[in-house]
Structure 1
Amino acid sequence: MISFNHPEPSRKHPPTFPVFLPFQGCPGRCIYCSQNLQTGQPSQSLSARLKNLADDLEARKKRHLPPIGLGFFGGTFTAIPREWMLRFLDVGLTYKKQGVISHIRCSTRPDAITPDMLQILARAGLDMVELGIQSFDQDILDRALRHCDQKTALAACTMIQEAGLELGLQMLPGLPGHNWQTWQEDIRTCCTIRPQIIRLYPCLVLEGTVLASWFRQGTYIPLDMEETLFQLAWAIRQLWSHGIAVIRIGLTPEPLLLDNVLAGPWHPSLGNMVRSRALAEIIEEQVHRLGHPPRSLKVPTRYSGELWGYRKGNETRLARAGITRTMVQYTPNPFFTLQ
């Protein structure tokens, strides 16, 4: 008999209330980027966004809802005018002190922070900085028009950690120049850095982007779904083994986004598909350790939706390992038991 735990680290933070600031503070536009489509949010003035935020948080307060995280996404938060950056954080901190908000984060570029700025952000109530890294490979960064080099990206990670802030990374596999080798190196670098959280956004071809033109010209071919599942399942297992929580896989299915995806590994259940594949690989390895054909498998109830996979995608794979539906039992235990 073998007992084993799922390797995914626990998530410490509550769900995040997102405030989207499409393109705000961005010095240019990357070849893949269409923030209004990705966020489902039209362009809006900073003053309007700020008022909406204050109104939304006041409404949560009046309804006595449980504390929630607050996140500033969709642009380069630390590159918007400092006055506005601090005004947004001041609203967040006000409601944080009142128990409406429990955690505040922002997303930004590696070249849009300094040690002094990070100290200001920490004093203003910020808890986490998420960096849009996309890749640590210089050739990929150059092709994507990120105008940011590997050295700057690595230095930004160190600055955030030394400032006592939590670090999040956002990676984008499938960009032009991406291959299995560069992806392995990117994930190994992430594991060395050890951020608290990471988001994995496989590259999609969105209408109105430079990448859309390259796709139509036949000079860019996105990752197919099978390769995406293979690479992401490998990646999350590596990240989990280093205590890094993967909090998002794939873009949120906003209606505006779905109407403008031209190509790429899009699926509304991509996260579940990746996690299911990783779980099947883990069970296969444990069956090998068992040393004889399995007779039963007890599974924590919380993983019942991942065991067999999207549309029973794991069924054949697990059957080859000797796991059939009749031998599976779901239990309230936090660990798996194989015998």
Structure 2
Amino acid sequence: MPSALPLGDPAPADGLLPAGAADGAAGRPFSVYVHIPFCTVRCGYCDFNTYTAQELGHGSSRESYADAVARELRFGAGALLASGVPARPAGTVFFGGGTPTLLPSADLARVLDTVRSAWGLAAGAEVTTEANPDSVTPDSLAELARAGFTRVSFGMQSAVPHVLRTLDRTHRPERVGQAVGWARDAGLDVSVDLIYGTPGESLADWRASLEAALSYDPDHVSAYALIIEEGTKLAARIRRGEVPDIDDDDHADKYLMADELLGAAGYEWYEVSNWSRGESSRCRHNLAYWQGADWWGAGPGAHSHVGGLRWWNVKHPAAYQQRIDAGVSPAAGRESPDDDARYLERTMLLTRIREGFGIAGLRDEGRRAVAGLIADGLVDGTAAVRGRVVPTLQGRLMADAVVRRLLDF
């Protein structure tokens, strides 16, 4: 089942932000996230807020979903203006899920048009949709490109059939190359997402997946370590002994292999789990999250952030549709983290990216820890001389330990 929403304060039905959330907004970037919660099947490792047709129940449907999200986007634009937040064009828009491309391309285009009319798109805006390789066609991708999408991120995960079966992925390995070719023909930039550390995946399997991904010549590659979430089918299979548990040493070996092969092919890391063909191919939307930009998140379970205020929508599509039909905010709760919580989050996020964390922004305990981290080979000494905490390759492997030491945990 999808993970639970956080606790928080009640969110007002009118969606208005408290005084102070608008301060400095004109100087902050703005993005939009659109959550599409539909999947054909639930993958065994997934605890995202997604639903198959059988799980949806009454009160929501794919057919009415684009209209509901468009209504939330218009509501959001009005609520921000009424809260004193100046209108800013979206620099990035990201359709995630779930499988956004289970909706007709015309529906996705209509939602993007609503973003345009509600906030506008900045010049050169990055507009991404996630997609499963078996959920697109040449025509659907061409229609998305005509609508203004610039980028597609394919959930490849693996090129090895038995690994895909363990993950409950439905596409055939050869479909990925096909889908990438169609996206290229449509003029879209391409990212592929990989998962390493699946139970039963050997180092040779992982190398085969990396080499297959590189053969498609994507602009961007994400490689994530598999995390076993409680409540998922894969967690239950591991508990019953049907498949082996994940192994930290195996994860480390596979991360090192990914960095080696991707680096040799001309990709540079810019975040611990992400590599790109130069700065222009980085995912600007994810960078907006890591760097603390403002964003509106639309759809069930979507999270938003403006000026330090965070809020999140009700989870189930039926409850979401009910709020939208009533003309009230779909937010279930919100919070304004205190200075300590914001510092913790900023340290966790900025020490994962290539630009790093400015040493001047660290608290005393963090500044004192830098020399030891350099001595232990976890932080780049040259970058530190320039005033930035940037993890080395070993530091990326031990990112959590670097953060704990900077925070003196």
Q: What TM-score comes out, normalization by structure 1 length?
A: 0.65
The AA in structure 2 aligned to 1:91 is: T
**Cα offset, 1:104, TM superposition:** 0.8
Equivalence for 1:236: 259
Classify 1:238/1:206 alpha carbon distance in 2 versus 1 (closer, same or farther; 3 Å). Answer: same
Residue in 1 aligned with 2:69? Answer: 49
Residue 302 of structure 1 deviates from its aligned partner by: 6.5
Contact 2:89 2:121 (8 Å CA) reproduced: no
1:123-134 aligned at under 5 Å gives the runs 123-134=146-157
Structure 2, unpaired ranges of 5+ = 1-28, 51-55, 275-285, 291-302, 304-311, 313-346, 355-373, 375-380, 403-409
2:24 matched to which residue of 1?
Answer: none
Question: Could you list the per-position Cα deviations for residues 52-98 of structure 1 after superposition, in whole angstroms to 9, with x for gaps in the alignment?
Answer: 33344566785244742110101111112455323212223446855
Q: Any conservation in 2 of the 1:174–1:203 contact (CA below 8 Å)?
A: yes
Relative to structure 1, is the Cα distance of residues 153 and 18 closer, same or farther in structure 2, using a 3 angstrom cutoff?
same
Alignment correspondent of 2:173 = 150
Aligned-partner Cα distance in 1 for 2:76–2:263: 34
Closer, same or farther: CA 93–273 of 1 in aligned 2, 3 Å: closer
| Residues 311-330 of structure 1 mapped to structure 2, 5 A cutoff | none
Give the direction of change, closer, same or farther, for the CA distance of 1:50–1:126 in structure 2 (3 Å limit). same
Structural mapping, 1:177-188, within 5 Å = 177-188=200-211
Question: Pairwise mapping of residues 94-243 of structure 1 onto structure 2 (< 5 A)?
Answer: 94=117, 98-99=121-122, 102-241=125-264, 242-243=266-267
The CA distance in 1 between the partners of 2:116 and 2:220, in whole Å, is 22
Distance in 2, matches of 1:68 and 1:248, equals: 23
2:273 to 249, 267, 285: 249
Match in the other structure for 1:86: 109
Q: 2:44 aligns with which of 7, 31, 36?
A: 31
> 2:225 aligns to what SS in structure 1?
coil
1:298 aligns with 2:396: no
1:17 is the counterpart of 2:17: no
Q: Percent identity?
A: 25
Write the deviation string for residues 168-227 of structure 1: whole angstroms up to 9, x where unpaired.
111111223312111112112222222122222221222332102101102233432333
Residues 111-136 of structure 1, C-alpha deviations (whole Å, 9 max, x = no match): 11111111111111111111111101
| Distance in 2 (alpha carbons) for counterparts of 1:213 and 1:311 | 26
- Cα displacement string for residues 270-325 of structure 1 (whole angstroms, at most 9, x for unaligned residues): 995798xxxxxxx9xxxxxxxxxxxxx63363752414834776xxxxxxxxxxxx
Q: Conserved in 2, the CA contact under 8 Å of 1:205 and 1:215?
A: no
1:325 alignment partner in structure 2: none
Residues 1:73 and 2:158 are matched in the alignment: no
SS at match of 1:298: helix
User: Match of 1:304, as an amino acid?
Assistant: V
Deviations 1:137-185 (A, max 9, x none): 1121123222211111121111111211000111111223312111112
Q: Which amino acid aligns with 1:216?
A: R
Distance 1:209 1:110 in 2: 23
| Number of residue pairs matched by the alignment | 267
| Partner Cα separation in structure 2 for residue 155 and residue 15 of structure 1 | 34
- What is the distance in 2 between the residues matched to 1:244 and 1:99? 26
Tell me, what secondary structure is at the counterpart of 1:121? Answer: helix
Partner secondary structure for residue 306 of structure 1 = coil
- State how far apart, in whole Å, the 2-side matches of 1:233 and 1:215 are: 25
Task: Tell me if the contact between 1:196 and 1:245 (Cα under 8 Å) persists in the aligned partners.
Answer: no
Residue 243 of structure 1 aligns with an amino acid whose one-letter code is Y
The change in CA–CA distance for 1:136 and 1:246 in structure 2 (over 3 A counts) is farther
SS state at 2:201 partner: coil
The code of the aligned residue for 2:267 comes to: G
Amino acid in structure 2 at the alignment position of 1:18: Y
Contact 2:197 2:247 in 1 (8 A): no
Q: Structure 1 residues 244 and 138 mapped into 2: Cα distance closer, same or farther (>3 Å)?
A: farther
1:156 partner amino acid: A
2: distance between equivalents of 1:15 and 1:139? 41
* Bigger Cα displacement from structure 2, 234-243 vs 194-203: 234-243
Give the Cα separation in 2 of the matches to 1:206 and 1:311. 18
